[in-house]
């Protein structure tokens, strides 16, 4: 027969019911013994007032023992009954009762696997967040670069537009066309110059041969 440690009750009351009962038993028993000793000493004292009576201290001690033995027996029986009732009805927590402080165990009865799955999920979410965060940083870095590049390109565009405005202001008509014509002409000139150089080289050669 195993002894019920009443640990759950101890959690609630702050003491083990059996310990409490034991303490009370010992206290009661002590009082009983104490009282009996007092009774005996009072009787003995009273007897001193009757010097010629034939009652000895030994007899009184015997009487005390007789009474105490009887009382102790009754006391043990009665206390045992009381203890049983208290442990079953008062200092106990029925099996179907869950203390409020333990509610989480009713609400979230997670097995080891379920708990592990939850932890894994959280770990994964953390990693995903980190990845998103660094992706965001990269995007913002490119955005900054783009701003710089756009600014440069717009500067160049503005320079071109500025050139057009100058030409328009000075009324040189289609400066673009004349500039283009000039560039083409200077190219033609360069080609002609090249031709002349080659021809003069040839002539010089002929002269030398002659």
Partner 1 sequence: DGEGGPPVPAAPGRAQVFATVVDTFLEKLVAAGSYQRFANCYRCFYKLQPEMTRSIYDQFISQLQTSIKEEIQEVKDEGNLEVLFNSLDKIVEEAKNQEEPAWRPSGIPEEDVRSAMVPYLLKHRLYLRKILKEKEEENRKVAQSVLAGRDRIAELQQLIQARKHAWQ
Q: What span, in angstroms and rounded, lies between the C-alpha atoms of 22 and 82?
A: 12
Residues 28-47 that bind partner 1 (CB under 8 A): 28, 31-32, 34-36, 38-39, 42-43, 46-47
Q: Which of 2, 48, 52, 107 binds partner 1 (CB under 8 A)?
A: 107
3-state SS string over the chain?
CCCCCCHHHHHHHCCCHHHHHHHHHHHHHHHHHHHHHHHHHHHHHHHHCCCCCCCCHHHHHHHHHHHHHHHHHHHHHHHHHHHHHHHHHHCCCCCCCCCHHHHHHHHCCCCHHHHHHHHHHHHHHHHHHHHHHHHHHHHHHHHHHHHHHHHHHHHHHHHHHHHHHHHHHCCCCCHHHHHHHHHHHHHHHHHHHHHHHHHHHHHHHHHHHC
> Nearest approach, Cβ of 99 to partner 1 (angstroms)?
7
Find the shortest distance in angstroms from Cβ 81 to partner 1: 8
Closest CB to partner 1 among 3 and 210?
Answer: 3
Among residues 142 and 191, whose Cβ is nearest to partner 1? 142
Query: By C-beta, is 116 or 200 nearer to partner 1?
Result: 116
Least distance CB 140 / partner 1 (angstroms):
6
Interface region with partner 1, contact rule CB under 8 A, candidates 93-101, 190-198, 199-207: 93-101
Of 189-208, which residues contact partner 1 (CB under 8 A)?
A: none
Q: What's the closest the beta carbon of residue 208 comes to partner 1, in angstroms?
A: 42
Contact by Cβ (8 Å): 128, 37: no
Query: Is residue 122 at the binding interface for partner 1, with CB under 8 A as the rule?
Result: yes
Question: Which 171-190 residues touch partner 1, going by CB under 8 A?
Answer: 176, 179-180, 183
Residues that contact partner 1, how many (by CB under 8 A) = 91
CB of 186: closest distance to partner 1 in angstroms? 13
């Amino acid at each position: 027969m195993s002894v019920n440690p009443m640990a759950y009750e101890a959690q609630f009351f702050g003491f083990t019911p059996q310990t409490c009962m034991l303490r009370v038993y010992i206290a009661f028993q002590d009082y009983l013994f104490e009282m009996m000793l007092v009774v005996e000493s009072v009787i003995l004292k009273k007897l001193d007032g009757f010097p010629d009576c034939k009652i000895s201290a030994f007899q009184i001690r015997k009487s005390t023992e007789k009474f105490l033995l009887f009382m102790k027996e009754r006391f043990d029986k009665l206390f045992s009954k009381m203890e049983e009732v208290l442990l079953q009805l008062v200092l106990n927590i029925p099996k179907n009762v869950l203390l409020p402080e333990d509610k989480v165990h009713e609400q979230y009865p997670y097995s080891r696997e379920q708990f592990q799955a939850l932890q894994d999920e959280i770990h994964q979410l953390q990693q995903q967040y980190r990845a998103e965060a660094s992706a965001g940083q990269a995007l913002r870095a490119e955005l900054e670069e783009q701003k710089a590049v756009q600014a440069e390109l717009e500067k160049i565009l503005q320079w071109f537009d500025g050139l057009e405005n100058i030409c328009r202001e000075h009324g040189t008509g289609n400066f673009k066309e004349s500039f283009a014509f000039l560039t083409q002409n200077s190219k033609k000139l360069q080609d002609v110059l090249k031709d002349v150089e080659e021809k003069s080289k040839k002539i010089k050669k002929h002269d030398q041969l002659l």
